Structures are given as structure tokens and as C-alpha cells.
Structure 1
Amino acid sequence: MTFEQIFKQLESHQYAPIYLLHGAEPFYIDVISDFIENHAIEKDQQDFNQWIVYGKDTHIDEILANVKMFPFGSPKRVVIVKEAQDLSKINGLTPYLENPSPSSILVLCHKYKDAPAALTKIVDKNGVLFNSKKISDYKVPNWIADRVKFYQFRITDHATNILAEHIGNDLSTIDNQLRKLKIILPPNSEITPQVIEQHIGISKEYNIFELQDALAKRNKARVYQIMFNFCNHFDSNPNPKTINSLTSFYLKMLAYNLSDKSKAAAKTIYTTNSDWALNKNIQQANSFSIAELQRNIAILREYDAKSKGVESTTAQEELLKEMIFKICG
């Protein structure tokens, strides 16, 4: 089932006897399990009818004993096993999963990796199976825009790109930052780079998005200014993160220059619904020749290897400076 299908059922108070939530992306697993924890049974019934435990702190027999107990003064008993990937001998749940109690709701939160096939096959027949997959980096801006609407905010394209570039596809971190803004800002506020700098701590002037813009404009003074700021705040801007973002930046421009340069081709390459962002991307790509792009990509690959210790013992900050100086020529 999809996340949307599961959530629609939960909001309609339709609960399955088993939920196996597994996969690389923890955000959706947490959202589903939190909803069940807070809404499956009434608050005043939870003390006697809800048991929440972490996989490393329990064992199969204890889970089975709890899930087989009859509810007391409640139509359902809820058992949630968080971090179920740490549960020893998890396949021992198989007999129960084949014949679950209709008066209990068992939620297994198996994060960061897929659950054993022996469990997924059974739950797919007798309960709700959800595989929470990581979303691709190029989908993150659209995900941010949708999540911003969920929290009843608006956001500028520039601010969306800053969040996407700085945080990447760590959906839980992005959502936590938006929740923080929900406490601070009134409804329908616009999230701008200034808001992000003030309340989230990502500089509106010194970030990867601004570095890309300065490189595209051949503004060496601005490039070096951002570069030195990165060196002074290296924990927030490690080389792998910077190199990956710049490599993607140049690869997309190369793909555009090798295409027919139509707007349709640009939309396919940049995967954005924003005309402002698309036009900016096209303008940047048109400012480079194919040879320049290939040269810069080669430099980035060289320093990607060096930053990982391949034929280099140079300090990371110095590698960043060398790389940027080479790119700028």
C-alpha cells in the first residue's frame, strides 16, 4: 500500500491487526506509527492498553505476551515496536503474523533497511505492509513545497532550493525545521531566505545555492567569499556535500547543452515546476560551453577522490580552496 492509502484508512479509523513499516526512509514510518500511537485508542485507555518498546530492549516472547493480551475497557490493544530492526530473532513472530489477534494492533517499525522476506510475505496477506523508500534528490524541492502547504505556509523558490541543497533528502530533518517554524510564525507566513537564516540557521548569503550562482556568473570575488566562509564553517559544509552538489549542478548543465535545448528538455533535466527556477537554470547552462562543463566535472571528480584520501593527505579545507581556484581558472 502507498503512504496516502494507509493514511486515508487511519483517518477513517480503519485499523489492521498488523503493520510492518520497513525501508530506508524513516520519516513515513514515524508519521504512520505516531498517528496510530495517538489515535488508535482513546487517551484515557492508553495506560492499560498501549505498550511501546524499542527492539533492542525487548524480545519475541515479551512482544507475543503483550500482543495476545485482551484489551481492558477498550476495543483494541496497541503494541508498537520501534527500531524493530534491532529485535533479535524477529522471524520468531511468524506464527503470530499468520494468525494475528483481531483485538490487537501490532506495529513493527523496521527502519533503514528492508524487513526479512519471510515477514513481508505474511504481512502483505494478513495486514498492512509499507516499504518506505528514500526519495531522489531531484524530488526534494517538490516535497518541501507540499510539506510547506501542509503546515499552512508559503515558500519562495529560492528558499526551497536553499533547504533542498543544504539538508538534502533527509525528510525528517526538513520536517522538524518546518515544525519549528510552525511554532514561531503565524499561519500563511512566507518562508524566505531571511526566515531560514534567522530561525533555521542556514545562511542566506553563504550556502551551496549562492556558490552555484556565483560560479555561473563568473563572479570570482563572491565565489572566494563563499569559499572562505565554507572553510570557517566546515562542519556545516563538508567537502563530500559541496562536491556532490556542484557535480550535480554541472552535470545537469551539461545534459541541457547536449540536448535540443527545448523547454521540454530542460523540464526533464531539472525536474522543477517553477518557471522562475527553470529559467534561471537555463540561463546558467547557456553561460557555459560543453568543454568548460566537462573540465569542471573532471576537476570535481579529481577532488572527490582526494577528499576521500586517494593519493592525498592535504587538509580538507585546503582541498576545497584548490578545487575552487581550479574551477575559477
Structure 2
Amino acid sequence: MAASNLAALLPVYLIFGKEELLIERALRRLRDMVEAEGNPDFDFDTFSGTNAKADDIIASANTLPFLSPRRLVIVRDADKMTAEELGLLAQYAKDPSPAATLVLAASSIAKNTRIYKAVDALGGVSEYAAPKKSELPSWVVKLFIAKGRTITRDGAEALVRAVGKDLRRLESEADKVIAYVGEKQQLERSDVEEVVVETAPTSIFEFLDALGRRDAASSLGLLGDLLDNGDALAGIHAMTLRHLRSLIGIVALRERGMSPNEVARAVKLADWQYRNLARQAERFREVELVAALRGAAEFEAKMKTSQGDPRLVFERWLVSVCDRSGHTVTRSA
């Protein structure tokens, strides 16, 4: 989808591919258009193909936009709809509403299906295939640019060698590097090598998920695995801070009375990221997360001044974050 604004969009798109990250990015760009040019509360609908009915989707698409030049309707997991339901959408694609854009997102779709042929006739079929191995370093360079940073070619190649071709993990490791270097704008190979470990069997995100569940035993075990695999404690700490800030943002917005959809738009995360963080945020109160951030800041200060064993100090802080006793999160000893 090359359109830069809602008015330039086609009436129906079918986007598919095995790389969920690429699909999510495409959908995010569309949502950003609605937020920039109209009101998503009135002119945006999303459906799940696992339980959506074609009649409801078509009714939404046929609703006139209120504040936007076009209404946007997204159907996720469209390939999970029955052939009959997809057939109804194919019929709609032959005479679609001129004031709406319907986007069907799928992991795969056969080219001989009615829906594929109908949307292809409009020029709206796009496959989001993963980059070839030789293209991955260039993809990483563009990834950092999209995040407001730059990285040298050899830095991008080092990240690809360490992580492999998993795009979601490439992005997550890029986020880890950015969190670690702070305000530094031009990243280099040395920054990557400082933080990323080649093919580490334990992911930092497994650790962060355990922390979000307030599971102290699993958090400590996964922390040990990360450290044993060579991950730098400073990098783990940086990503943990970032994770806590995301959680506190969600909790704070919820406590201000915002609906889940409003919170999701405000934090500007991919839907899969928001859903995961939202589940974790339910386990915390805002005061607990604020105290946890204070404790993390104290840990960082002690680590920089060599006060105590850094791992032990971090583990104590980690246990305090996971404490469900109702007490305020303790500061690192």
C-alpha cells in the first residue's frame, strides 16, 4: 500500500504474509492515517476473522465516514473466515463503497479463491514477504532510521549475524540496543556487540513477560539464563526500564478513565504488543510501578559507582517488583 493519505487508498485491500510484524506495520500506518486525518472513534472499525460475519463487515464499510475522507475497516485473520463468508466479501469487492477502505489481513490466501481474484482485479493484493538473507542488513538499517536512529552497515550486519532472520526478534534486539545506548544517535557495531548475544536460547522478552506476570521464580531463573548466555546486565536493566515505563503508561491512562481502545491509541504500540502489556498491567497499581522505577534508578546509580554486587542488587529489586503482598515495591538494598 503506497498511498500516503486516506483519500488515495483503494476501496479494498488483501494483504497477506507469514511475517506478522510486517502485517502489523502496514495496519499501523493505516490507523495512523485515520488518527491524523479524522477521528478513529467514528471512522475506524476492526474485526477478527475468527468470529466476524461478512454482513457486519459490509455494513461497517457501507457506513459513511463522519470526520475522515474515508472510513477504514480492518479484518484480521481473514483467512480464518469460511469460504461462504469470504465469498460475500468478494461480492462486495465488485461494487465497494467509494467512501471506505476495507483491509483484509491474512497469513496466507490461495490465488484461486474468489476473494483473491476480486481484490486483485482492483489492484489491492499485496504480499508482505520477509526480506531475503542478503537484504536483511539493509532492512535493519531502515529499521533504525524508522526508530529515529542510524546504524552503520557493519553494525547492521553484526545484528543479523547474532539474531538471524526472525524479523520480530531483530526489532526487539534493535530496541534493546537503542535502550542501552541512551541518547546516542549514530550506532555502531560495538554498540550491538555490547548488548546482543548470538543466538541466545533465552529471549529478553521471556524474562520481561515473567516480570510482567510478577513471577519471581521464573524471572530470577530467566535472568540467570540471560546472564549465563552472556547478556550484559546493563542491557537487561535498560530493557526492563523501558518495559516498566510502558506498563506505567497503560496503568496511568486506565486509571484516568480511558477505554482500552483509547489507551491502545495513546501508547501507539502494535496491537499484539498492547494486548500483551495490557494483560500484565492489570497485575500492577500505578504506585507500585512508580516505586519500581525509583528502585531501578537506584540500582543504576549503584551499578555505576560499584556499590555492591550488581547482580545481587538487581535480583533483590526484581523480587520486590514481583512481590504481591500489597506492600510498596522496596528500593534496592
Taking structure 1 as the reference length, the TM-score comes to: 0.52
1:55, distance to aligned residue in structure 2 (A): 1.6
**Per-residue deviation at 1:182?**
5.0
Distance, in Å, in 1 between the alignment partners of 2:80 and 2:193 is: 36
C-alpha separation between the residues in 2 aligned to 1:150 and 1:45?
25
Q: Does 1:134 align with 2:130?
A: yes
Instruction: Measure the CA separation in 1 of the matches of 2:88 and 2:111.
Output: 11
Deviations 1:75-131 (A, max 9, x none): 3211111222222332331100111110111011112x2355322222122252111
Which residue, 185, 189, 203 being the options, matches 2:186? Answer: 189
> Take 1:127 and 1:162, find their aligned partners in 2: how far apart are those partners?
38
For 1:106 and 1:125, locate their aligned partners in 2 and report how far apart those are by CA, in whole Å: 15
Larger of the two Rg values belongs to structure: 1
Relative to structure 1, the CA distance from residue 149 to residue 47 in structure 2 (aligned partners, 3 Å threshold; closer, same or farther) is closer
Q: Which runs of 5+ in 2 are unaligned?
A: 202-224, 231-333
Q: Is the 8 A contact 2:7 2:69 kept in 1?
A: no
Match of 2:109 in 1: 114
Output the amino acid matched with 2:55: D
CA contact (8 A) 1:41 1:76 kept: no
* 1:178 paired residue number: 174
SS at match of 1:57: coil
Q: Give the CA deviation at 1:12.
A: 8.2
- Secondary structure, aligned partner of 1:20: strand
Deviations 1:249-298 (A, max 9, x none): xxxxxxxxxxxxxxxxxxxxxxxxxxxxxxxxxxxxxxxxxxxxxxxxxx
CA contact (8 A) 2:78 2:106 kept: yes
Q: Tell me the equivalent position of 1:299.
A: none
**How do 1:87-102 and structure 2 match up within 5 A?**
87-89=81-83, 90-102=86-98
Identity across matched positions, percent: 22
Cα distance in 2 between the residues matched to 1:36 and 1:48:
15
Tell me if structure 1 keeps the 8 A contact 2:15–2:128: yes
User: How many residue pairs get matched?
Assistant: 202
Query: Secondary structure in 2 aligned to 1:40?
Result: helix
Give the secondary structure class of the aligned counterpart of 2:88: helix
Unaligned runs of 5+ in 1: 1-5, 209-228, 235-329
CA separation in 2, counterparts of 1:58 and 1:86? 10
What is the rounded CA distance, in whole Å, between the counterparts of 1:187 and 1:79 in structure 2? 39
> How many Å apart are 1:72 and its aligned residue?
2.8
Relative to the length of structure 2, the TM-score reads: 0.52
Q: Which residue of 2 aligns with 1:15?
A: 9
